[in-house]
């Protein structure tokens, strides 16, 4: 695979499994040194880092809660200690909760918004100065199609992902003239994702309209397909792509608009 990220260093949050792991592995295959970040699934995070090294890449693992400023400071410091620079930040860490408004507590709301949205702000605050010092940087936020089309019970999750799109646009405007691009990927139903922690087959009927053609392409996406979009946006091949939201959902949101 082409080494488009030779000499680059990437931090990938939430990279112990699923989409985050696929992103970390793809960027590593293309030459980047990877700072793997995970909170609760430390075993998975260590396994991702080990797989990168086993395949000839460079990696370091940091256990941290990205919703906490001190932990974000530590992630940045450890990435710099390990690799000396930070070029790419992928804000992938996230949680989802399906909870009707009458049962959506303030605590749960804060947990989802802090993990999915506040963490991206905190991590950007930490890494941007180091990107500015080099005059180059790429931030890719992992949102969700719930940012634009959602369903009952997803108020906190949809709000967090819509906010992530807004943060992407604002930072792209603020940082683009100084060499830092900020973009967002909106995955649809992806196997082995937040919807499928236990590696069970995803039932589209639990997330999409209850119809045989709920998926335009008649299948769910894979983490590697999301990783491919992230790899492009992080690279110089996307040098004029800034403030964009790239939907990776097999056309699902187009179908939902027609219903």
Active-site annotation, residues: 157
| 177 CB-contact burial (10 Å; exposed 0-12 / middle 13-18 / buried 19+) | exposed
Burial of 196 per CB tally in 10 Å (0-12, 13-18, 19+): middle
Written as six digits, the tokens of 147 are: 């940012």
Alpha-carbon distance of 197 to 53, in angstroms, equals 25
φ/ψ of 11, rounded to 5, equals -100, 125
CB 111 within 8 A of CB 37: no
Distance, in Å, from the CA atom of 256 to the CA atom of 254, rounded to the nearest integer, reads 5
């Amino acid at each position: 695979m082409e080494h488009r990220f030779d000499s680059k260093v990437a931090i990938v949050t939430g990279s112990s499994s699923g989409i985050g792991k696929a992103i970390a592995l793809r960027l590593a295959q293309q030459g980047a040194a990877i700072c793997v970040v995970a909170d609760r699934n430390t075993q998975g995070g260590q396994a991702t880092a080990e797989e990168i090294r086993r395949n000839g890449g460079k990696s370091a693992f940091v256990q941290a809660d990205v919703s906490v400023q001190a932990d974000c400071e530590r992630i940045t410091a450890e990435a710099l200690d390990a690799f000396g620079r930070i070029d790419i930040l992928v804000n992938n860490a996230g949680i989802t909760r399906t909870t009707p408004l009458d049962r959506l507590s303030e605590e749960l709301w804060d947990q989802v918004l802090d993990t999915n949205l506040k963490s991206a702000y905190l991590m950007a605050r930490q890494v941007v100065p180091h990107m500015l010092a080099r005059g180059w940087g790429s931030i890719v936020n992992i949102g969700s199609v719930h940012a634009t089309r959602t369903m009952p019970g997803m108020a906190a999750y949809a709000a967090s992902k819509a906010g992530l799109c807004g943060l992407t646009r604002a930072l792209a405007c603020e940082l683009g003239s100084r060499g830092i691009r900020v973009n967002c990927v909106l995955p649809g139903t992806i196997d082995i994702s937040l919807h499928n922690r236990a590696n069970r087959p995803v039932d589209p009927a639990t997330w999409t309209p209850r119809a045989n053609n709920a998926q335009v392409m008649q299948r769910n996406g894979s983490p590697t397909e999301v990783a491919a979009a992230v790899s492009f946006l992080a690279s110089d091949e996307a040098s004029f792509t800034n403030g964009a939201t790239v939907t990776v959902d097999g056309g699902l949101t187009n179908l939902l608009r027609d219903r």
